[in-house]
Amino acid sequence: MITMVPKAELHCHLEGAASPDLVRRLAARHSVVLPSETFDENGDFAWSDFLHFLKVYDIASSVIRTPEDYRDVTYQYLMDCAAEGAIYVEVMSSPDHAAAVGMSYTAHLEGIVAGIEDARTDSGIEGRIIVTCVRHLGPERGVEVARQVVAHPHDLVTGFGMGGDENAFEPRDFAPAFEIVHASGLPCTVHAGEVAGAESVRAALDALPVQRLGHGVRAIEDPDLVRELVDKQIVLEVCPGSNIATGVYDNYSDHPLLALRDAGCRITLNSDDPPYFGTSIGQEYDRASNLFGLDDTALREVTMTAIDAAFADPETKRKLREKASL
């Protein structure tokens, strides 16, 4: 049962949105044989912990090799979201994953743009792209990705971010990369407070020009930091299903979504890497209803928060607010 409250998603990794079936189809398209341990006996992605997840994610992503592949991944994901009632989705793209299989920044972008435009035509869903760097690949690669973002501006590329292993390097190491993009006028977000604690969130907030945080949930470990998030109106891209799947929290009753919300933090709901974590944007809204007790009014507020915090132009936001109120 997917609640029909209009939904908006700010945090989904495009390479992590490709279903196992699509990954197998793309592997066949390129005559690539993936290691059998990429999948479990049910055909789902097989991984054991967060760092192993990142490895399997890299392997599965390596079959996305052409603009057409990126188009197909984007189109299928957005159409699935639209079928669950999503009206707006920001997808994070990773030029480093594209480069690992020989694809240029502009080639990967061309495919994603085609996927967004085709899905908009076929379903009405609106999409934007947040280009991300990968933290464990280091600051120089981050600067390289940032330079490409600025060198190839596109109407649908509306933000910059960073994922990867939160325990690698320090946020300040990536300040040069973020400053390049920020100086060009694009807003930024960063993963923090997912697999590391409140000190990691504070380090990210102190060093990087971000308006939103990917996850950010472990800020709950420091009440002063929670107050700072409230004061600065930092929006949290909360991904409860992801946090349970990766073991950040053992179960939903331990998850701090409600505590953060009650403290005044601005909360959105997101799927992160849906097929890896057995989730979807619709299921995140459903669980927020069934497990966190958010009624339809509260869920609609979550959508309005996402629209407010979206990296999109004012006219697009106006139209989205109108749609979300229906």
Tell me: does residue 273 bind ligand ADE (CB under 6 A). yes
With CB under 5 to 8 Å by kind, the binding choice for 194 among ligand ADE, Zn ion, none is ligand ADE
Any catalytic annotation for residue 194? yes
What are the backbone dihedrals phi and psi of residue 255, each rounded to the nearest 5 degrees, phi first? Answer: -75, 135
Cβ distance to ligand ADE smaller for residue 99 or 304: 99
Tell me: does residue 166 bind Zn ion (CB under 5 A). no
With CB under 5 to 8 Å by kind, the binding choice for 142 among Zn ion, ligand ADE, none is none
Tell me: does residue 96 bind ligand ADE (CB under 6 A). no
What are the backbone dihedrals phi and psi of residue 100, each rounded to the nearest 5 degrees, phi first? Answer: -60, -25
Tell me: does residue 161 bind ligand ADE (CB under 6 A). no
237 is written with which tokens? 């891209």
Cβ distance to Zn ion smaller for residue 272 or 284: 272
Catalytic residue chosen out of the listed positions 15, 194, 237, 284: 194
Cβ distance to ligand ADE smaller for residue 203 or 263: 203
Cβ distance to ligand ADE smaller for residue 6 or 240: 240
Tell me: does residue 237 bind ligand ADE (CB under 6 A). no
Cβ distance to Zn ion smaller for residue 72 or 272: 272
Task: Give the burial class of 249: count Cβ atoms within 10 A of its Cβ; 0-12 exposed, 13-18 middle, 19 or more buried.
Answer: middle
Quick note: the x/- pattern for Zn ion over 258-287, rule CB under 5 A, is --------------x---------------
Tell me: does residue 110 bind Zn ion (CB under 5 A). no
* Total of chain residues touching ligand ADE, rule CB under 6 A: 10
Given candidates 97, 108, 128, 191, which one binds ligand ADE under the rule CB under 6 A?
Answer: 191
Enumerate binding residues for ligand ADE (CB under 6 A). Answer: 13, 16, 57, 163-164, 191, 194, 242, 272-273
Positions marked active-site: 194
